[in-house]
Chain A
Amino acid sequence: MKLFSSNAGYFFKEVKTMIRLNLFSNSLTIFSTGLIFFILAMIISGWWVSSRVVDVVQKEAEINVYLDDEILKNNTAVIQMVESIKGIEGVQAARVVDQDEAYNRMVEILGKEASVLSKFDDNPFSSFVELKINLQEIDPVLEKLTHLVGVEHVRDNREVLERLRNIAEALRVVGILVVAAVGISTTVIISHIIRLGISNNKEQINTLRLLGAPELFIAFPFLLEGLLLTIGGGILAVSLATFSISYLYVQMAGPLPFIPLPPVKELVFGMGIVVMSLSAVLGFVGSLLGLVSVNNH
């Protein structure tokens, strides 16, 4: 351990010299691993966002029950209907959303585009009963609701939820495949770079061996080089991904304000931690493989 702590400055200086002496190929390595990690960062972010959306939608699983016009005309009947619905197992809450509230909600959702509603002479929205339910019990709740007298139509967001779940699952699978692909390609690139570095520094390595330097002392700068190259690639990827995510958030915030995106800072921080940790691990593994493969030949 003392060997490394007392020579830390030397090791970093050696890495700097090695990178400087092969600046072009090392820059290309940082750039290519950076691009690979960028793809990974975007997939991870997409996966994260979709999971978050599914979570939020799941928590807010709701059913809208539209009642017959005859019942809507009678306030007492509406109250009785709401009470009947509340009595169904799995229903957590039920309340009437009147026409004005339905209108105001749409104004909020549409934001700047809400002016389109002024084209209507009358309020185009109907009153309905809004239900908060336990998502696991959506099927029996729907079954009971459709059999209630006075219910004209039931609208649920199960289909949307299923689609979101499918997207999240697809992104998860793609994410796993991309992580595997990134892992393999980064390891191969770094191990080749290390092999190249060892080959370029063959004489130096031979001299150190003749001077009695331990193998670990000789190998450490190469290990550090691989690690720094992938961390460099990771930093490049995180920077690019941060810029891209911020841009996409701005683009989505206008036309799709109702999508429950996670806070951008939280997303970038999480993605950054994952990508940087992965780049460090892959850099270490790639360098180690490069060193082992050279030692075996």
Chain B
Amino acid sequence: MIKAKGVSLRFPNGTVAINNIDLQVEPGDMVYVIGPSGSGKTSLLKLFMGIEYPTIGSLEVLGQQMDKGQTSRIRQLRTSIGPVFQEFKLIKGRTVAENVMLGMRFLDLPQGQLKENAHDALAKVGLEHKASSLVENLSWGESQRVAIARAVARKPLLILADEPTGNLDKDNAINILELFKSFIDQKTSVIITTHATHLIDTEKHCKLIQMNKGTLSWERLG
């Protein structure tokens, strides 16, 4: 699913965000990435999404080599990824349902399937009653859940979630993590960056990655 070998990411200003990491994520893995702010968690997800490219090393995501020359293929690859961004990236002026459906419109799904997937995903995050609300009228926690619904509605092979529980209360955070875990049985891999270490469980298929100053310092199978 993901194979990283000797991957480093150095920004033009010289900052080293990721430093020589090796990593392997298998289908159905649930990976928690923890670490202090600035440790490289978000940069790691950006590498997996093809927003940044490794300056050194080899990275393969869902069979696609991640390097600058492959932009159109990486764009195509992203249709198989369900991203949850730290800043949500919801489209203002559109409703909750429209935002969730937007992530699926170019996936060749029939119109009925599109609506059904959006409805199911919103139900799973407890927001089906907000389907017609404009996203700018939502609270932070609700916005985060819409972003999660958008990611899971398209039934991706890989979910990349950057601090998905950051704005949620404990009950909602647990629900969201349970939702992510429900994808494991379908062989979807889930990678979550989080500060909420108390919510992490160590069940089978769970991996914990500790990031520190761009290095992957600890990895443990649950």
Contact = CB atoms under 8 A, between A and B. Distances in A.
Are the chains A and B members of one assembly?
A: yes
Interface of A: 2-3, 6-7, 10, 17, 20-21, 203-204, 206-214, 217
Given A21-B93, A210-B89, A211-B83, A7 B105 contact: yes
B24 to A, nearest CB: 24
A212 B91 contact: no
Contact of A214 (B51, B103, B106, B111): B106
Contacts of B168: none
Contacts of B89: 203, 206-207, 210
A206 B88 CA distance: 12
B99 to A, nearest CB: 9
B93 A211 contact: no
Interface string B94-113: 10000000110110101100
Interface stretch (B10-18, B27-35, B72-80, B198-206): B72-80
B159 interface: no
A54 B77 CA distance: 65
Contacts of B49: 210
A3 B93 contact: no
Question: Which of A3, A208, A210, A214 has the most chain B CB atoms inside 10 A of its CB?
Answer: A210
Given A210-B83, A211-B79, 6 more contacts: A2-B108, A3-B106, A17-B93, A203-B91, A210-B51, A211-B103
Contacts of B208: none
Given A210-B49, A212-B78, A214-B106, A6 B91 contact: no
B81 interface: yes
Given A208-B102, A209-B75, A212-B78, A17 B94 contact: yes
Contacts of A204: 91
Question: Which of A20, A203, A209, A211 has the most chain B CB atoms inside 10 A of its CB?
Answer: A211
B79 A207 contact: no
B75 A207 contact: no
A210 B105 CA distance: 14
Contact of B76 (A203, A208, A212, A217): A212
B78 A207 contact: no
A2 B78 CA distance: 20
A210 B91 contact: no
Nearest to B78: A212
B77 A212 contact: yes
